[in-house]
Amino acid sequence: MWRKGYLWGFLLIILLLLGVKQSTIQAEAADQRPVMLVYDSKNIAEHGDLDLDCCQRLLTSLGLPVKTVQLSQYHAHLLETSHCQGVITMVNWAQVNSRNQAFERDRARFTGVKLHIGSGLQTDERKSLGGHFKTLVHQQLKVHQGQANQLLSTNKTLLVNDKRAGNAMSVGWLTNQNMPAESYSYGVKVGNAGFLPEIGTDGVSINLAGQLIAKLFKLDRQPQLPLLTITGVTPYTKMNHLKHLIDCLSSQGYPFALSIVSVESNTDLAAFHRYTKILRYAEKSGGVIFLSPSTETGTQRLNEAQLRSVFQTELASLGADRVLPIGVSAPGYWNRSQRRQAAVLSPASHVLLRPDTHLKLEEKPVEAEPVVTNSQVFPTSIVGIPFDAFETATYQNKIQFFQSTALLVKMPADTTEINRLMQRLQGSKLRWFDPVRDQLETSLKIGTVSYEYQAGQYLVNHQVVFDLDADIENFATDAKPAESDSWMNRVIQWQSHALLWLFAGIGLVLTGLLVLGWRIYRRKFIRNSGQKKG
């Protein structure tokens, strides 16, 4: 009897566990609805375009698809028909005070997550957030996340929550330089409503934004370790400097990734093989590689098939030399372009989204973005944040990252910059994500070829690669490669030598004639001068 009771109890527990697991999977599937990001202006003069790009990439790294639309282009019921799980209002240019009555009505009726970034809170938003807000004008503020803190790099006007509602949750806080210092909430969450004074360019403020967004959308996110990533590695990088950097990072125990650029043509040249030899050395030293697609130059834009073809060719030429990228690295705007998403980003399980390049005020983009852009999510989306963004932060080892993050360092130009980087890494005392220790698993499939990475082990088409140097002819020696001793080469070499001697002989003859002519002219001139004197 007791045994039957235990049996039924055991079966009941199993069924409950299966039910919980199934509901969790369904909940994750339901959460793939997009988040609508509505912004007033890119405000290029004050780098508002970069703030917008950062917000989009931050949402993507948290697994949230993003539908972005400018406030002036929003039309009635778009929020409802897009079936969004949340809406974010981002004010980049408060002085203009842009309004859209249709959007404000739709947002007021919306029952999902609502986040406001910047100033310009409307009546319905203030009512949802409660508490009291005040404007700080040109004050030097410090932002805090636990023990970590950082002085904000700009002292622009900020709207802050100086008195929270009773049911409000604070994420981080701000302090000013007054004596005694006054404290304000940084991120505020009240139910499904939230507020941030800005996204900003400072590392701590970006992390707090990610932490608040994760709480608003009820994402089960534990603190993660950042991935140290060296960007700007190209075939034109000085290979001795790159090797020296790899040696420094490896010898001091820093796991790292390289964001590299390759080429579509001239992959049979010795220079390309020297490049891939160093990249294999990085792989053998514990580094991993993200391949960055080639940038389209000029006014020409490739269609989806052309982009896929170029990327596939680059990937194949690297793979032939046993350089096996674990993922794709691209600027944020690539994830707002449908053809780039489909051709290059979608085949990768891990996509590193780097910051966009800032546009100059008078500069017009070569390719205008559509009115509505859609940023898709990937199995793992990584937001790239410059390591410099944390340079002024104190207690950097206490900073918490709630989104998948890569801290980006531009490839040092010389040994002095390499030494300076190593000093900064030691001074930060940050713990870094280790692909081997932390059991990283990735996949990248283009056409019929697939590359996989499993905690330090590389696979090509599901076959383990035991030796990265196997079956590779060593083209990457420092010496000039020996020419093939064929009949044609010997003929060409003989012709070159013959022409060289011919031109040398002609030069000697002309020199002799010049000397002879000068002597004849001089004798004649001296004789005529003597006759005249006599």
Q: Where along the chain do its domains lie?
A: 34-216, 227-476
- Please report the pLDDT score of residue 508 as a whole number: 87
Please state, for a pLDDT cut of 90, what percent of the chain lies above it. 63
Give dist(CA 233, CA 408) in Å, integer: 12
Amino acid making up residue 213: I
Highest mean pLDDT pick, 112-116, 150-154, 307-311: 112-116
370 preceded by cis ω (within 30°)? no
Strands 113-117 and 193-196: parallel
- Please report the pLDDT score of residue 426 as a whole number: 95
By CB atoms closer than 10 A (0-12, 13-18, 19+), residue 215 is middle
Whose CA is closest to 86, among 103, 111, 123? Answer: 111
- Identify the CATH number of the domain defined by range 227-476: 3.20.20
Give dist(CA 229, CA 277) in Å, integer: 19
Q: How far is CA 403 from CA 214, 352, 390, 449, 450, in A?
A: 8, 12, 16, 30, 27
- Please report the pLDDT score of residue 322 as a whole number: 92
Both tokens of 164, joined, read 């929270």
Please state, for a pLDDT cut of 70, what percent of the chain lies above it. 85
Residue 204 · residue 217 · CB < 8 Å? no
- Please report the pLDDT score of residue 446 as a whole number: 84
Please indicate whether residue 489 or residue 219 has the higher confidence score (pLDDT): 219
Task: Decide if 34-216 and 227-476 have a common fold.
Answer: no
Which of 131-145, 156-170, 478-492, 514-528 shows the lowest per-residue confidence on average (mean pLDDT)? 478-492
What does residue 101 show for φ and ψ, rounded to 5 degrees? -60, -35
Cβ-Cβ contacts under 8 Å for 363 (sequence gap 6 or more): none
Over 80: is that where the pLDDT of 28 sits? no
Give the model's confidence band at 365: pLDDT under 50 very low, under 70 low, under 90 confident, else very high.
low
Give the model's confidence band at 179: pLDDT under 50 very low, under 70 low, under 90 confident, else very high.
confident
Element (H, E) at 334: none
Give the model's confidence band at 88: pLDDT under 50 very low, under 70 low, under 90 confident, else very high.
very high
Over 50: is that where the pLDDT of 487 sits? no
Over 70: is that where the pLDDT of 22 sits? no
Give dist(CA 194, CA 344) in Å, integer: 35
Over 90: is that where the pLDDT of 117 sits? yes
- Please report the pLDDT score of residue 494 as a whole number: 65
Would you state the CATH architecture of domain 34-216?
3-Layer(aba) Sandwich (3.40)
Please indicate whether residue 222 or residue 531 has the higher confidence score (pLDDT): 222
Give the model's confidence band at 472: pLDDT under 50 very low, under 70 low, under 90 confident, else very high.
low
Tell whether pTM > 0.75. yes
Whose CA is closest to 57, among 335, 358, 444? Answer: 335
DSSP bridge pairs for 45: none
Both tokens of 123, joined, read 């009546």
| Helices and strands, counts by H and E, the chain | 12, 23
Please indicate whether residue 534 or residue 368 has the higher confidence score (pLDDT): 368
Q: What is the pLDDT of residues 230-263, one digit of tens each?
A: 999 999 999 999 999 999 999 999 999 999 999 8
Q: How far is CA 330 from CA 84, 238, 357, 455, 505, in A?
A: 26, 22, 12, 23, 58
